[in-house]
Amino acid sequence: MRRLLVIAIPLVTIILFLAVMLSGNFLKQPLGKDDDIPGLIETLIKDIQDEQWDKVNQKAEELNNAWGKVVNRIQFSAERNEINNLSVALARFKGAILEKDRTSAIMELKEAYEHWNQLCQ
Amino acid sequence: MDNNTDINYYREVKQVLNEGLVVFVRSIIAFFSLLIFTRIIGKEQISQLTFFDYVLGITIGSIAASLTTDLSSRAWPHWVGLITWAVLGYLMEIVTLKWRYASKVLEGEPVIVIMNGKIMEKALKKAKYRISDILELMRNQGVFDPNEVDFAIIESNGQLSILKKAEHLPVTRKDMNIPVQNPGISTELVYDGMLIEENLRQLNKDKAWLMNELKAHGINDISEVFLVTLNPEGSIYIDKYDDHITKITDIGDYKGPF
């Protein structure tokens, strides 16, 4: 029994650590209804191309909330660089839609998408 | 959406990030990973470390440090670096244990620098030691005169072993034909007021015998004693909690806070 514990405790600890470190790739995926970041980016790009600015504003809010949720659960396994870059891209995206600037808005969304892809990779 | 709420949303995202918490979690990961790995790799004492073991330790420690605080990259790649170094270190240990030839190449071997009282200049040069280093290492061992030394060997951990000439070796009981009995190692019978029955049994004694011994020293209960040890020869050491020493010698030579 004692011998088992001597092996089991470190083994379980290491497995737990691996789970924490590698969980990011799973946790960044949409787990609920309102945290689908790639989905929201896709619909946003479509709405911007159609110049549906009311819809865009609403979706941008949703995207922000979704990112807030995702960031909360991936922060222990993700790199701070990608998190910050994605947050900055979203901030700039907000500036672009404030001025109804199609090109910039799509550029920032594409960048945000790329950061999301690189996150935890 | 007006401008104000817009800025607030961004702030909300920033607020959930807690760098201190992340560092805390990563510290726990690094600390216990390091503890587990080092327990697996090494039983060697610091004094027995070869130069490579020393570098290995520093590198693994430094990887663990960046795993803790380098938040710009994920914990995972740092951890992979940590475990790779640990596994390689472990493999090297296995190889040198099983394969004498490899151990000679990887860990070096002892070099004789003084043979029959003569300094081996070539060996010294090869080992990259100055003669002043050797004299210093000799002095560390209480040898101030090279005349006393028959053999001196630089071990693979960099320490010097000295064999003195026969005329400088201390007289032993054997030389004088004095009969001796090996004292053996004392065993704890009572530790911090608690009886260790296992050890008592090992020495073929029982509690009644111990109580008799204690009574002879004016002790009525085991809880009164801090430590009792017994060596195989039967010599018993007893220390009570109550030491009855009124004037305690203070070796401090300067007035400090205590």
State chain B's mean pLDDT as an integer. 85
The per-residue pLDDT for B45 is 60
CA proximity to A14, closest of B60, B37, B43, B25: B37
When pLDDT is averaged across residues B195-223 and rounded to a whole number, the result is: 88
Contacting residues of B for A79, CB less than 8 Å apart: 71-74
User: Could you confirm whether domain A2-118 is CATH 1.20.120?
Assistant: yes
User: Any residues with CB less than 8 A from the CB of B46 and at least 6 apart, and which?
Assistant: none
Cβ contact B16–A71 (<8 Å): yes
* Helix B75-98 and helix B100-107, axial crossing angle in degrees, nearest 10: 120
Backbone angles phi, psi at A46, to 5 degrees: -65, -45
Q: Please provide the size of chain A in residues.
A: 121
Q: Which residue of A has its CA nearest to B16?
A: A72
Q: Please provide the size of chain B in residues.
A: 258
Over chain B, what HEC string results? Answer: CCHHHHHHHHHHHHHHCCHHHHHHHHHHHHHHHHHHHHHHHCCCCHHHCCHHHHHHHHHHHHHHHHHHHCCCCCHHHHHHHHHHHHHHHHHHHHHHHHCHHHHHHHHCCCEEEEECCEECHHHHHHCCCCHHHHHHHHHHCCCCCHHHEEEEEECCCCCEEEEECHHHCCCCCCCCCCCCCCCCCCEEEEECCEECHHHHHHCCCCHHHHHHHHHHCCCCCHHHEEEEEECCCCCEEEEECCCCCCCCCCCCCCCCCC
Chain A residues contacting B via beta carbons under 8 Å: 10, 13-14, 17, 20-22, 24, 57, 60-61, 64-65, 67-68, 71-72, 75-81, 83, 87, 90-91, 94, 98, 120
List the beta bridge partners of residue B187.
Answer: B230
Domains of chain B, CATH where assigned: 3-103 (no CATH), 111-168 (3.30.240.20), 187-240 (3.30.240.20)
Quick check: B151 pLDDT over 80?
A: yes
The per-residue pLDDT for A37 is 92
CA proximity to B50, closest of B110, B124, B132: B110
Domain spans in chain A, listed from the N-terminal domain onward: 2-118
Nearest to B72 among A22, A77, A80 (CB): A80
Quick check: B1 pLDDT over 50?
A: no
Q: What gap in Å lies between CA B140 and CA B134, rounded to an integer?
A: 10
Cβ contact A76–B12 (<8 Å): no
- What's the pLDDT tens digit per position in B8-55? 555 555 555 688 899 999 999 999 999 999 888 876 666 667 777 888
Threshold 0.90, pTM exceeds? no
Write down the ipTM of this complex: 0.86
Q: Name the CA dihedral angle for B138, B142, B146, B148, rounded to a multiple of 10 degrees.
A: -130
Q: Are strands B194-195 and B160-164 parallel, antiparallel or unpaired?
A: unpaired
Q: Which residue of B has its CA nearest to A82?
A: B72
The per-residue pLDDT for B17 is 63
Q: What gap in Å lies between CA B6 and CA A96, rounded to an integer?
A: 12
CA proximity to B38, closest of B3, B79, B87: B87
- Spell out, as residue ranges, where chain A has pLDDT lower than 50: none
Burial of A112 (0-12, 13-18, 19+ CB in 10 A): buried
The per-residue pLDDT for B9 is 52
User: What band does B147 get if pLDDT is binned at 50, 70 and 90?
Assistant: very high
The per-residue pLDDT for A12 is 94
Cβ contact B33–A17 (<8 Å): yes
Q: What gap in Å lies between CA B236 and CA B214, rounded to an integer?
A: 10
Backbone angles phi, psi at A100, to 5 degrees: 50, 45
Kindly provide the b/e burial profile for residues B122-137, where b requires at least 16 CB atoms within 10 angstroms of the residue's own CB: ebbeebebeeebbeeb
Q: What gap in Å lies between CA B89 and CA A102, rounded to an integer?
A: 56
Q: Any idea which residue has 């440090």 for tokens?
A: B65
Backbone angles phi, psi at B112, to 5 degrees: -80, 120
The per-residue pLDDT for B94 is 87
List the beta bridge partners of residue B239.
Answer: B227
Q: What gap in Å lies between CA B143 and CA B23, rounded to an integer?
A: 51
Contacting residues of A for B6, CB less than 8 Å apart: 94, 98
